[in-house]
Structure 1
Amino acid sequence: MTKTTMVSGAPRLLCMLFGLLTLPQAHAQIGPTPTIRIGVSGPFTGGSGSLGESMRNGIRLAVDEINSIGGINGQKFELIERDDEAKVELGAKIADDMVKQHVTAVIGIANTGVGLASIDAYQQAHLPLMVAVSTGTALTKKFAPPNAPENYIFRISPTLDLEARTLVAELKRRKLSKVALLADTTAYGDAGTKAFKAESLAGGVGLASEDRFKIGDTDMLAQIKRAMATDAQALVVWGIGPELAVIARNKETAGWKVPTLGSWVYSSRNFIDGAGKAGEGVMMPQTFIQELGSTSKNGFLLAYRRAFKTDLIASPMSAAQGYDGMHLLYRAIRQANSGDGSKIREALENLTSRYQGVITSYAKPFSKVDHDAITQNMLWIGRVTNGRIDYANSEDQRKSALLRLKGE
């Protein structure tokens, strides 16, 4: 595990940095250390590596922009990065280490199981955590009032409940009333299954079958054939990593032509590249879609390409959420004018400055009782098209330039 510094040479995005420059100036050092230390915990290797790497790049890009204008009162930000490898026990150890390191705040967490094993340490230490990728609903609910007087867990990614509701709405839009459900045996798969079953019941979508698979499985043809034997009109899958690509290839081999929908992770490169043509047409909820040809029009994408020498982001949604989440943390620390976790938590719950981010325009994204910044109106349905993620519905693409605000 290594300690890293920020990316150098990222462009100063005038439209985004203007918002930074107009914030009130701090009048004191945030903490006793020369830098403001921010912990970053995520899977930078392994099956979830594309999610964690993209998230980290978004965070690094945001920190580089913040440091380019002097940080807070000349005190710059430093990232303390740890690879949790998507392993529950390692994630818990990293959380304990972040507390001992006396970081000011933490951002990251891509896997629900890792998050569930980590949040107790952050909560007990009064150390604010910004969940940037994981969608496990329980992460921000466990310590929400009245379960605890104060909640130190915040999130910039959508919840599983929102994902499931969006998928059910898309199924109904396409007049698909009976589906086969397939999920992995991780905590994420458990939570996704629970959320989808609840939303499908409420939305009038029936389950023709329900089956599971394990992380590391390399052949799910048996599960596919069991689902094919039912009257399912679509396949819905909840999983992470390369197993999604195996399922797509098995489905193609079996000749099953029904649509496939599933969790947002379907948008990552390890699925798209691993599935090849078998992945074409798969649909998933997204907060951010990297439109083809849009690099010259979107400051974030242009900055990402220049900083990391690529315009093909492994997980665009993870990168955008990491970027926005870091900027929101910056604003809270600046507003609190303190490195004290309680004051930063209070600032996050009462942010006074609007932030025009990549995903949306954030105006009071959090409150004391609501620590989830993303609402259903901020989700699109994406579709794998020619090896990239595009809008599944043309009307969504037409509306993509419109602001999607919380509460609307």
Structure 2
Amino acid sequence: MNRRWSCWMGLWVGVALSCGVAAQGAKPLRIGLIGPFTGPSADFGLPMLNGAKLAVDEINAAGGYLGRPLELVIKDDTANADVGLQQSQEVLKEGVVGTIGFCNTGVAMKSLETFQTAKAPLIVPCATGTPITAKYPAPESYIFRTSARDGIQAPFVVDDIVSRGWTKVAIFADKTPYGEGGMNDVVRALAAKNLQPVFVARFDLGVKDLQTELKAAQAAGANVVFSYTVGPENAVIAKGRQALKWAVPQVGAWPLSFPFFIDGAKEAAEGALMAQTFIAEPSNERRISFLTAYARKFNTKKITVPMAAAQAYDTVYLLTYAILSIRDGNLSGPSVKAALETMPRVYYGVTATHEHPFSKDDKDAITSNMLVMGMVKNGLVTFAYPEDRTRNLFVQRKR
């Protein structure tokens, strides 16, 4: 293990921590982890789980929380909102100091009230629907997030496509809360540039054919397709364009980096563009360390959804940094919330350099300057622009 990671606690906390295994027999400090570890969203739920596990192992090797090992209380929501609600209620019975959870916006939205009512901090590392951190007034909210909300992803992508001259936008969005919110974010981002979509298609999850809608978008003069869905429907759109021999680009938020799209669409996915917080290339020491440790621990050369793994990894560290700043031993929900809002030390993470990631008035850790444009090339996601690869040598800070 990289010594910088294994000794991180003793370097900044200023307490007597040895860089070794957490004390034998010490009572574990429990952290909830909820996500889709089976079912249709497991392709990004499992990397989220693995990223969290990797961080916990590293922190425990460094001494845990004042000698107490961290322990994940893992709950599978199967990407089902009702199951997610039940698992949220269950995890709060397990004595957790905080919960990391949710990949699906609809699943998250149904469970937010459970955490807010219980005054139990929830940090969302994957789900990106803008309403997640907007449901409650920020000063009172116990809902934090370390993924890039669609409210910044959509404008970021719109800025890029407009700069390329692609201003006749067709939006294809599913009918889930994720698709609904993403579509609204794209429409707002276009309106800010005095543009409006030339065509909008809505569809149910599981749709196998969107030829009628694609032909209508083509007839409307669209020169780019902006898709908002998390599953194989993205591939349905790409393969439909290919079948029509309609050579317009497909752009979107981070689900265009998922296996459902890249493996499902195959050559039709080539050239697709999407917003990313993390691209699995060894662009600096932190990312090299993370990618090497992940590959070793999980015996794999490829992370199915690298962003999910990296964001969950950083989230575990951020929560641990927060609770280590609590000097009076009070690990109640309100105390942990306050600690997250006032973190005194910088966390040098994989996706970003987190200096004051949260505040009383801001529960989103990611800002648009932390994003880069990814592009599908030869079945992998790489940097769309050489300058982003260069800029990515330096991990960005919040603005």
Q: Is the TM-score greater than 0.5?
A: yes
- Separation in 2, partners of 1:377, 1:204: 23
The answer on whether the counterparts of 2:284 and 2:393 sit within 8 Å (CA) in structure 1 is no
Other-structure match for 1:82: 75
Asked if 1:101 corresponds to 2:90, the answer is: no
Alignment partner, residue 291 of structure 1: 281
Secondary structure of the residue aligned to 2:262 is: helix
C-alpha displacement of 1:295: 9.7
Distance 1:38 1:54 in 2: 17
Q: Does 1:122 align with 2:112?
A: no
Confirm whether residue 226 of structure 1 aligns to residue 219 of structure 2. Answer: no
Correspondence list, 1:143-158, <5 A: 143-145=136-138, 150-158=140-148
Q: What is the TM-score with the length of structure 2 in the denominator?
A: 0.94
Cα distance, 1:200–1:96 mapped onto 2, change above 3 Å: same
Aligned partner of 2:370: which letter?
A: M
> What is the alpha-carbon distance in structure 2 between the residues aligned to residue 333 and residue 375 of structure 1?
23
Spell out the pairing of 1:8-407 with structure 2 (5 A cutoff): 12-24=1-13, 34-145=27-138, 150-291=140-281, 298-336=288-326, 337-407=329-399
8 Å contact from structure 1 (residues 172, 205) kept in 2: no
Tell me the CA shift for residue 217 of structure 1: 1.3
CA distance in 2: counterparts of 1:134 and 1:402, whole angstroms: 25
- Rounded to whole Å, the distance in 2 between the matches of 1:360 and 1:294 is 12
**What are the ranges of 5 or more consecutive residues in structure 1 without an aligned counterpart?**
1-11
* 8 A contact 1:168–1:203 mirrored in 2: no
- TM-score (norm: length of structure 1): 0.92
Deviations 1:11-45 (A, max 9, x none): x2222334322232669x9xxx9211111111112
Which residues of structure 2 form unaligned runs of 5+? 17-21
Q: 3-state SS of the aligned residue for 2:186? A: helix
Alpha-carbon displacement from aligned partner over 1:141-168 (angstroms, at most 9, x marks no partner): 22224xxx52111100011110111011
1:210–1:397 CA distance, 2 compared to 1 (3 A): same
What is the DSSP-based 3-state SS (H/G/I as helix, E as strand, rest coil) of the residue aligned with 1:330?
Answer: helix
Identity of aligned residues (%): 38
Cα contact 2:286–2:349 (8 A) shared by 1: no
- Is the Cα contact below 8 Å between 1:133 and 1:321 reproduced in 2? yes
User: Aligned equivalents of 1:243 and 1:46: distance in 2?
Assistant: 16
CA distance in 2, matches of 1:315, 1:40: 18
AA matched with 2:85: A
Instruction: Give the total of aligned pairs.
Output: 391
* Contact 2:227-2:252 within 8 A present in 1 as well: yes
SS in 1 for 2:123: strand
Question: Contact 2:287–2:350 at 8 Å: present in 1 too?
Answer: no
Please report the RMSD computed on the Cα atoms of aligned residues, expressed in angstroms: 2.1
Cα shift at 1:297: 6.9
Q: Is the 2:210–2:236 Cα contact (8 Å) retained in structure 1? A: yes
Q: Contact 2:115–2:121 (CA<8 Å) still a contact in 1?
A: yes
**Deviation digits for residues 385-404 of structure 1 (CA, Å, limit 9, x no counterpart):** 00100111111112111231
